[in-house]
Structure 1
Amino acid sequence: MQGTVDGFSYGLVTPLVAFLMACLGGALGLRCTTRALVVAHSWRPGWLALASAAIGSGIWTCHFIAMTGFEIAQAPIGYDRTTTYASLALAIVMVGAGIFIVGYKGAKGYPLFTGGAITGLGVASMHYLGMAGMHFDGWFSYDLPTVAASVVIGVVAATAALWAAGQVRGFLWSVGATFVMGLAVCGMHYTGMAALSVHLHGTGDAGSGDSPAVLLAPMLIGPLAFLLLAGVVVIFDPLVVVGRRDWAPAEEKPGVPARALVPHQTRRTLARPARALDHQGSVGYRNL
């Protein structure tokens, strides 16, 4: 028996909140990636790991919030905890792989396309693994061309977001990268849901597992903690906001473990020779 589904049982509330969570995770994660591109190598793994956790948590939170608006009219839905948590871990690991490639190899050329592909596949893998954790009196089937389209959307948009983050050109680039990342996650999710068909056994049995309402609070604690940590770090590190155009790594000196970040303008001022009047009143130059 064909099931009747409703992906917007709460109207536009769940899509909008899901999009905002995807943008939040993307904003924090991409700005941490930006910071990793200009920081000393010893600090880079920590920034990239924090970026991976933020983006992965934002992706998973977006998916779970969107799924609270998904209902099957003839069958209640339950969620398997283990599979649902595994989808969160998968998102963080695969996004992390893509982020680390871009963080160490650069956001252009082969590293960019490889990192973007892995990140986009991570978004898609999290989605379909999360769907596999849903239990109800029936089964899902998918339209393969639409599934392929959802994966392509995730890969292309994730690649574009990583490219924009790699440009590190200030606030507008950050906003653009964040918006693209949010579109990547939500576009992939709802395209994947459009590929879905529900088939019911017709027995009327309830699905095993916990309902979304029961799982919502405890399952969001971990991802929200990651997002909060990333937010605190970003807020209290002003260099994350300005980007590489305004800040550049100074030269490392022997015995100094990390490179300081100094403004380009300050470096130009220090390098410029100063003018001075000689004893005859003519203008001359002397080096600082």
Structure 2
Amino acid sequence: MQGTVEDFEFGAVTPAASFLVACVGSALGLRCIVRSLNNRQSWKPGWLALGAATIGCGIWTMHFTAMVGFRIQGIPIDYDPGLVSLSLVVAIVAVGLGVFTVGYRGATPATLTAAGILTGLAVVGTHYTGMAAIELNGSLEHDSLTVSASVLLAVAAATAALRTAASRRGFPATLGACLLMGVAMTGAHYTGMAAVGVQLRGATDASYTTGLYGDGSPASILLPMLIGPVVFLILAGVVVMFDPQLVLGDGEWSRSSPRRHRGTAVAPERPAHAPPAASLFGPREQQPGRHARTTADHGTGATTGGVRPGTGPRGR
């Protein structure tokens, strides 16, 4: 017997919330990656790991936030905690492979494409591992053509998001990349949900059974599970906004200006030409102040004794 599937039990609330979570997780993760690449004093493995964990957590949270609105009419739904946990591991590991590839091999077209494919597969892997965690009196069926469309959408949108982020720096590019990543996650999710059919076994009951989390409804089961990942995203946001290096005064902003020694006046320095626009994933530019100061020293002929060649006493 075929079951009736409902993906929007709470209307537009769950799609909007899942899209917001996807965008926030993507924004925080991309920011972590940017700081690891643009700041040589930062601990690159730590920032890349935090970026991968944040994006992966955003994918996982997006999926199960959307699943709060999923129900099968007359059938109680439960989730296998082991597979639920595995879906989170799949998201973080798959994204991490792409993030570390870009972090250590550079933002070349090949690495960006590989990272986009891995991120898209992270979305798909999280989705279908989470769907496999559903326990019900029946079995889920998937239309292969629609599943293929969800995979292509996830990979294409994730790759486009990374390429947009890598093209130029600035708020519009960052916002566009986050929105594209949100489309990759939520679009692939709801496209995949459109492929779902349910084959029921036995009789159905119009009411939910009482379970460990209360009345056994998807909301009562999933909402407690979402508390931990949401708290993690909040903490990641705090780390990104308050970079420990900036708090301690060791960040790039304090190193970008030349050091001033007591009693020594340093004239303002201007680069001979404007530096090229840096990409979001590009390497950190060299500091112009240090190069200009070195050039000025050679140009003025400064020596250890402070006397320019040719200005000493004659006839000695």
- Deviation readout 1:84-122 (Å, 9 max, x if unpaired): 111111111111111111111122222111111111111
Q: Which residue of the other structure, out of 218, 221, 230, is the alignment partner of 1:224? A: 230
1:78-93 aligned within 5 A: 78-93=78-93
How far off is 1:245 after superposition?
Answer: 6.1
Aligned to 2:124: 124
Classify 1:35/1:76 alpha carbon distance in 2 versus 1 (closer, same or farther; 3 Å). Answer: same
Alpha-carbon deviation of 1:159? 1.1
- Alpha carbons of structure 1 residues 245 and 119: separation in structure 2 relative to 1, 3 Å: closer
After superposition, where does 1:1-288 map in structure 2 within 5 Å? 1-40=1-40, 43-167=43-167, 169-204=169-204, 211=216, 212-237=218-243, 244=278, 249=284
User: After the TM superposition, which of the residue ranges 213-222 and 118-127 deviates more from structure 2?
Assistant: 213-222
Contact 1:33 1:99 in 2 (8 A): yes
Of 185-194 and 197-206, deviating more is 197-206
Match for 2:78: what amino acid?
Answer: G
State the TM-score, normalizing by the size of structure 2: 0.75
The answer (yes or no) to whether the contact 1:34–1:166 under 8 Å persists in 2 is no
- Higher radius of gyration, 1 or 2: 2
CA distance in 1, matches of 2:82, 2:124: 18
Q: Is contact 2:150-2:189 (8 Å) kept?
A: yes
Gaps of 5+ in 2: 253-276, 303-316
CA distance in 2, matches of 1:209, 1:193: 26
Instruction: For residue 10 of structure 1, report the CA deviation from its aligned partner.
Output: 0.4
Query: Deviation string for 1:162-201 (max 9, x for gaps)?
Result: 2223345121111011000000000000000011111111
- Please give the TM-score of this superposition, normalised by the length of structure 1: 0.82
Q: What's the RMSD between the two structures over aligned residues?
A: 3.0
Q: Counterpart of 2:219 in structure 1: which amino acid?
A: A
Larger displacement relative to structure 2 (188-197 or 156-165):
156-165
Contact map agreement 2:23 2:179 (CA 8 A) in 1: yes
Distance 1:221 1:168 in 2: 35
| Identity fraction in percent | 49
Are 1:38 and 1:248, in contact at CA under 8 Å, matched by a contact in 2?
yes
Question: What letter corresponds to residue 64 of structure 2 in structure 1?
Answer: F
- Go from structure 1 to structure 2 and tell me whether the alpha carbon gap of 1:29 and 1:185 turns closer, same or farther (over 3 Å shift): same
**Deviating more after overlay: 229-238 vs 175-184:** 229-238
Residue 214 of structure 1 and its aligned partner are, at CA, apart by 3.5
Count of residue correspondences: 265
Gaps of 5+ in 1: 252-261, 275-284
- Kindly indicate whether the alpha-carbon contact (under 8 Å) linking 2:164 and 2:176 is maintained by their aligned counterparts in 1: yes
**Does the CA contact (< 8 Å) of 2:37 and 2:284 recur in 1?**
no
